[in-house]
Amino acid sequence: MQNKSKISSTAYKVLILMKLLNEENLNLHEISQFFSNQKDVFTPLSKEVILKYLNTLKASGYKISKPASSNDYRYELIKAPYLINLSKDDLITIIKLEHFIENLFLKELDNSLKNVLIKMDKFLPEQSAEYYTKIKNALYENNSFELNIFDYSEYAEMIHKFEVYCAEAQRVQITFKIPYEESEKTITLEPKELNYKENKVFISGYNPLNNENQDINLQYITDTKQLPTRSKNTRSTSPVIFKLKGRLATTYRPYEGEKIYKDESNYIKVYTYTEEKNNLLKRLLKYGDDCEILYPAEIRETIKETIIKTLNNYVN
């Protein structure tokens, strides 16, 4: 609080109370506690003074709920002093967004979105809230979202399991069997995030044993076990380095986890740390002769072998 002599102390305290209630619901004790905790700024407020301040807010047009057991005896500012105007289309976008996240079966993310919407609700005019409910019912009734989301319901349980693993940042032992490979594999993974590609869901993470990033299709996972070791939140320390030339060099935009270095006028060098090796190889093959893998030698060799084997497809 600056220039105390030039402001109204009472008005300031009422505005502070309005700001507090705009951010969270509080009971009389919590309000009193807040003012008491800042003795250098405020004198402690009696219950009567707080009630008078609340009355002032009500008189100013703000609806404040009465404390009751249903709201844990807290005062709630029903609508914020400042309301956000959303068009009908914006409200439909919110509903589509909710529907989309629900269908990814990411419970934590779904809860986070709901939390944001609860916070936003206070800022929406009453007619917006009514329209939101009406249109939501209609969209769900007719299933007219037009989003073309793949059906991930068969992975719902596993998606949630990995979402928790990612949040808890613990290493996980994963056993999986890829249909075109003979035997099962068991690896240790520091899970980072779930990725959706077309109708498949992958758990992406860092394998500390081979120092590589790895994506595993949930469909092929046969067993998981959370290990008592915490993830070190690391990523592959050894980058894959590739060189781009021509049009690609001038237009290339780095993907997540990539850094670009320009060392010659016609070339750029890209250092990539996070992309899974097989996905990266597929992407770099797309770039044709505009791309050369420089490091490490084994990936350079892998791409060379891939090119030779592909050429062999056309012999005879």
Partner 1 sequence: MRATPKNDLIKISDNISVTAYRTICILNLLLKQPSNEEEISLHLKEQILNNKNLSSDTIYIYLNTLKAIGCNICRPCKTNNHKYVLKSHPFMLQLDDNDLKSLVQIRKYISNLKNWKFILEVEKLFDIIQDNLVMESKKKFEKLRNASLRYPLTQKIIDTIQKLESHAESQNKLEVVYSSPINGIKNIKIKPEEILYENGAFYVHIINLDANEAQYLRVDRINSFELLRNYNLNISELPDIAPVQYKLKGASLYYFIPGENESIISKTEDEMIIEEKITNKFKFYQKVLSYGYDCTIIKPLSFQKEMVNKLRSMLEIYT
Enumerate residues 266-285 that contact partner 1 by CB under 8 A: 281-283, 285
Whether residue 224 contacts residue 175, with contact meaning beta carbons closer than 8 Å, is answered with yes
Nearer to partner 1, 55 or 71 (CB): 55
188: number of Cβ within 10 Å = 17
Buried b (16+ CB within 10 A) or exposed e, 97-109: ebbebebbbbeee
Distance CA 41, CA 51 (A): 20
Decide if residue 71 touches partner 1 (CB under 8 A): no
Decide if residue 297 touches partner 1 (CB under 8 A): no
Binds partner 1 by CB under 8 A, chosen from 27, 42, 73, 120: 120
Binds partner 1 by CB under 8 A, chosen from 35, 53, 105, 155: 53
Binds partner 1 by CB under 8 A, chosen from 42, 73, 100, 271: 100
Question: Which residues within the stretch 24-43 sit at the binding site for partner 1 (CB under 8 A)?
Answer: none
Decide if residue 1 touches partner 1 (CB under 8 A): yes
Cis (ω within 30 of 0) for the bond into 296? yes
Distance CA 301, CA 259 (A): 23
Whether residue 162 contacts residue 217, with contact meaning beta carbons closer than 8 Å, is answered with no
Decide if residue 169 touches partner 1 (CB under 8 A): no
Decide if residue 65 touches partner 1 (CB under 8 A): no
Decide if residue 23 touches partner 1 (CB under 8 A): yes
> Closest separation between CB of residue 83 and partner 1, Å?
4
Decide if residue 137 touches partner 1 (CB under 8 A): no
Distance CA 313, CA 106 (A): 42
31: number of Cβ within 10 Å = 22
Interhelix angle for 28-36 vs 47-59, to 10°? 110
Nearer to partner 1, 5 or 69 (CB): 5
Binds partner 1 by CB under 8 A, chosen from 36, 71, 93, 238: 93
Decide if residue 6 touches partner 1 (CB under 8 A): yes
